[in-house]
């Protein structure tokens, strides 16, 4: 036991175990083998109250069960909780052969341990007179955190395996996420920049000596990371996506489009835009992932890490553009890479969220709509719902929001005039493509985003009505628009629709629309014996009136008081059917599939739509999906 300050000791084990003392009790940062318990009496500590883990690796936590038996409670990083309390599931599902996922989750525990609390990104954990601020430290693992606190008159950081003294990495192999990439370099750089802004006096790493000149160590490690990235063929993913320039390592900078309009720059994954009123107030359009490396859902990664938000650009917004208040944020559409930062804005800056009603209903109830791709897992409260075509005013600027169901059914376009230019924020609808030697505008199509043929026609109508001179897209560079390009965009949509109609049977929408029958809520967690109400949402894509009928097909033990229910829908009509059910009187913590058979005019279409349900005991929370 080595004393580092009046209240902090270090015990050297398979990792550094830090003991923060208050009276006869202590809090531990990581646990190692648990052998620290044999030495606490030497510093007059009788019991361990809490263990805060920086990350999930075995060297940090293999002795935690021993300490739990003596009464210690455990808190773990939000995005690695499943690798503590549900780790058997991880091992049962982890791919072993033909595996190109190289991230070091293989260093997880073999048996689950009880978790009493989560360390949520950008929030705090209070113990006695100490407050630990949770700062994302993605790099060595995807969910690792640093814990920042004021202890004994110093600002200290417990940094896990983010870095070691001397401006070095603890393990290079931890930088590999996909087969052959070095994506951890990018994540580590972003975490170092975030730590630098904390201005800590000393950092306590999981391995090695304390780091006293923290910012100098960070600068040295930054240079080494950049040098490695510049060697060549150091990829940010397992594909052919290199570090384009060193700016992809450092946080990309906000750039001026005009006096009152900023954008996040060409190296951001999901573009967001800032409207300034010139008096210290800002309105954001979207706020999501900071760089392309964070959008690593294409690999066989483990669960929640691709949903993790890391703060970006806000320091520059405050420091360089004199913003005092982020007053409002408006998401263009529902996708997680564009909205995952909104809960952070709301919680830490009091930012209000306005959204089109079609967008609002999904982001506010993600479990209800979980069948859709790219739905963010945390509910986002919307302060004001806007309707299709509604005009709104913000601090001298006039805007209009439109339902523009292009890339997804749940999408908007926001148009307005800023600094004399007609601007449209189009989200993921419009991109440029090369054709006959020049770039032309195209409309993206994702069928699982609840695509119907008239959606793209609607987008063309919105752009023709707003006549933008500048498109601010959700990804990629800004797009200058002209009447010629607007016509080309409309022509692209017309040609695509003709090709689709020629490809499928008639009526085309019936064979294109994946979600003409959709079941809600898609994911439910219920107690034994609970009553559950499923709702089937229907669209009649036929050219005639039809009777739609639905009945539940339930797993063993489930019951329903209803046989089937029906509704008559006109051509093009929409409707819903409610189907009640009762869960069995036993717990089943694995997901069960509930389906609904759909009949049209008495002809069965089969169990078209589905939902997932977990039953649990009242004293055993189920997984959240």
Q: Examine the fold and report which residue of 481, 503, 525 is the final residue of a domain before the chain moves on.
A: 503
Q: Which two tokens stand for residue 472?
A: 């601010």
Q: Is the dihedral of CA 318, 323, 324, 327 positive or negative?
A: negative
355, 398: one domain: yes
Q: What is the pLDDT of residue 54?
A: 98
Distance (Å, whole) CA 467 – CA 404: 14
Residues of the domain holding 570: 516-616
Nearest to 425 by CA among 327, 360, 496, 338: 338
What is the biggest distance separating any 2 CA atoms in the chain, rounded to whole angstroms? 83
Please report how the helices 483-503 and 453-466 are oriented relative to each other, as an axis angle in degrees rounded to 10.
170
In this prediction, residue 100 has a pLDDT band, given cuts at 50, 70 and 90, of: low
89 and 181 in a common domain: yes
Quick one: which of 94, 229, 223, 210 has its CA closest to 157?
210
Write the CATH number for 520. 2.60.40.10
Q: Report the C-alpha gap between 494 and 510 in whole angstroms.
A: 19
Which range has the worst mean pLDDT, 91-100, 197-206, 511-520? 91-100
Question: Which range, of 90-104, 116-130, 135-149, 490-504, averages the lowest pLDDT?
Answer: 90-104
> Are 484 and 341 in the same domain?
yes
617 compared with 563, residue with greater pLDDT? 563
Q: Is a pLDDT exceeding 90 seen at residue 21?
A: yes
Same domain, 224 and 309: no
* 452 within some domain: yes
Considering its fold, how many domains does the chain have in total?
Answer: 3
Domain annotation covers residue 250: no
Q: Look at residue 208 and tell me whether its pLDDT is greater than 90.
A: yes
For the cut 70, the answer to whether the pLDDT of residue 97 exceeds it is no
Residues 391 and 527 in one domain: no
- Residue 502 CA to residue 225 CA, distance in Å, equals 53
- Whether 63 shows a pLDDT value over 90: the answer reads yes
DSSP 559: B
Do 473 and 499 lie in one domain? The reply is yes
Give residues with Cβ within 8 angstroms of 347, minimum separation 6.
122, 123
Whether the CB-CB separation of 510 and 540 falls below 8 Å is answered with no
511 in any annotated domain: no
| Domain-located, residue 240 | no
Q: Is pLDDT above 80 for 99?
A: no
∠ CA(38), CA(41), CA(44), 5° rounding? 155
Instruction: Evaluate whether residue 239 is within a structural domain.
Output: no
Pairs from 169-176 (Cβ < 8 Å, separation ≥ 24) = 169/140, 169/221, 169/224, 170/140, 170/205, 170/206, 170/207, 170/208, 171/104, 171/140, 173/104, 174/104, 174/139, 174/140, 174/141, 175/139, 176/102, 176/103
Same domain assignment for residues 156 and 286: no
- Reported as a single tens digit per residue, the pLDDT across 169-184 is 999 888 888 767 788 8
Cβ atoms of 493 and 584 closer than 8 Å: no
Q: Are 210 and 203 in contact (CB under 8 A)?
A: yes
CA distance 491 to 390: 27
- On the question of pLDDT at 106 being above 50, the answer is yes
Domain check: are 330 and 453 in the same one? yes
DSSP 138-181: -SSSSS-EEEEEEETTEEEEEEETS-BTTTB-S-SGGG--BTTB
Provide the pLDDT for residue 625.
45
User: Same domain for 104 and 7?
Assistant: yes
Phi, psi of 520 (to 5 degrees): -135, 150
pLDDT single digits (tens) 480-509: 999 999 999 999 999 989 888 888 888 988
Per the rule left: phi > 0, alpha: psi between -120 and 50, beta: everything else, 139 is left
Going by their DSSP bridges, the two strands 8-12 and 16-22 should be labelled as antiparallel
Q: Last residue of some domain: 503, 528, 551?
A: 503
Asked if the structure places residue 248 within a domain, the reply is no
> For the domain that residue 196 is a member of, what is the CATH number?
3.60.15.10
What the block records as the tokens of 510 is: 């019936």
Mean pLDDT computed over every residue of the chain: 90
Q: Is the predicted pLDDT of residue 232 greater than 70, yes or no? A: no
Q: Is residue 238 part of a domain?
A: no
pLDDT digits (tens, 9 = 90+) for 270-308: 999 999 999 999 999 999 988 877 765 544 444 445 568
Asked whether residue 625 is assigned to any structural domain, the reply reads no
565 with 465, same domain: the answer is no
For residues 155 and 200, the answer to whether their CB atoms sit within 8 Å is yes
């Amino acid at each position: 036991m080595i004393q580092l300050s009046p209240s902090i000791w270090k015990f050297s084990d398979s990792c550094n175990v830090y003991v923060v003392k208050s009276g006869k009790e202590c809090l531990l940062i990581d646990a190692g083998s648990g052998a620290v318990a044999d030495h606490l009496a030497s510093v007059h500590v009788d019991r361990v109250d809490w263990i805060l883990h920086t990350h999930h690796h075995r060297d940090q936590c293999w002795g935690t069960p021993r300490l739990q038996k003596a009464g210690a409670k455990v808190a773990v990083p939000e995005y690695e909780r499943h690798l503590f309390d549900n780790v058997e599931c991880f091992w049962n599902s982890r791919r072993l052969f033909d595996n190109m996922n190289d991230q070091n989750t293989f260093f997880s525990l073999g048996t689950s341990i009880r978790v009493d609390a989560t360390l949520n990104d950008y929030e705090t954990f209070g113990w006695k007179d100490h407050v630990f601020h949770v700062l994302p430290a993605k790099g060595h693992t995807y969910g690792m955190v640093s814990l920042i606190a004021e202890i004994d008159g110093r600002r200290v950081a417990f940094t896990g395996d983010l870095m070691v003294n001397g401006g070095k990495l603890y393990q290079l192999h931890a930088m590999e996420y996909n087969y052959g990439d070095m994506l951890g370099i990018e994540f580590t750089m972003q975490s170092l920049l975030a730590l630098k802004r904390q201005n800590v006096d000393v950092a306590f790493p999981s391995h090695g000596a304390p780091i006293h000149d923290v910012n100098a160590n960070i600068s040295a490690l930054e240079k080494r990371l950049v040098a490695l990235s510049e060697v060549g063929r150091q990829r940010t993913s397992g594909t052919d996506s290199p570090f384009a320039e060193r700016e992809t390592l450092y946080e990309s900078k906000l750039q001026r489009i005009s006096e009152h309009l900023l954008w996040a720059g060409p190296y951001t994954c999901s573009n967001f835009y800032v409207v300034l009123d010139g008096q210290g107030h800002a309105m954001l359009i979207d706020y999501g992932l900071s760089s392309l490396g964070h959008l690593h859902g294409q690999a066989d990664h483990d669960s929640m890490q691709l949903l993790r938000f890391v703060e970006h650009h806000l320091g520059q917004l405050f420091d360089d553009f004199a913003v005092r208040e982020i007053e409002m944020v408006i998401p263009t559409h529902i996708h997680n890479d564009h909205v995952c930062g909104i809960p952070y804005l709301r919680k830490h800056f009091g930012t209000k969220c306005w959204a089109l009603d079609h967008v609002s209903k999904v982001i506010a109830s993600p479990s209800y709509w979980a069948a859709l791709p790219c739905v963010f897992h945390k509910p986002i409260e919307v302060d004001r719902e806007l309707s299709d075509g509604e005009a709104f005013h913000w601090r001298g600027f006039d805007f209009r929001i439109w339902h523009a169901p292009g890339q997804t059914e749940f999408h908007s376009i926001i148009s307005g005039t800023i600094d004399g230019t007609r601007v449209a924020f189009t989200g993921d609808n419009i991109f440029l493509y090369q054709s006959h030697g020049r770039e032309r505008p195209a409309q993206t199509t994702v069928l699982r985003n609840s695509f119907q043929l008239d959606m793209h026609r609607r987008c063309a109508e919105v752009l023709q009505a707003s006549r933008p001179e500048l498109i601010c897209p959700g990804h990629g560079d800004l797009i200058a628009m002209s009447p010629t390009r607007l016509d080309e965009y409309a022509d692209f949509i017309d040609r695509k629709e003709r090709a689709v109609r020629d490809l499928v049977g008639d009526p085309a929408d019936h064979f294109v629309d994946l979600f003409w029958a959709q079941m809600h809520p898609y994911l439910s967690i219920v107690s034994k014996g609970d009553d559950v109400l499923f709702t089937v949402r229907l669209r009649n894509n036929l050219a005639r009136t039809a009777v739609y009928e639905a009945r539940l097909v339930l797993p063993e033990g489930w019951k329903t008081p209803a046989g089937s229910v029906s509704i008559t829908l006109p051509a093009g009509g929409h409707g819903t059917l409610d189907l009640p059910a009762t869960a069995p009187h036993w717990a089943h913590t694995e997901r069960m599939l509930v389906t609904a058979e759909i009949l049209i005019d008495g002809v069965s279409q089969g169990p078209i739509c589905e939902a997932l349900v977990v039953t649990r005991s009242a004293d055993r929370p189920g997984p959240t999906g």
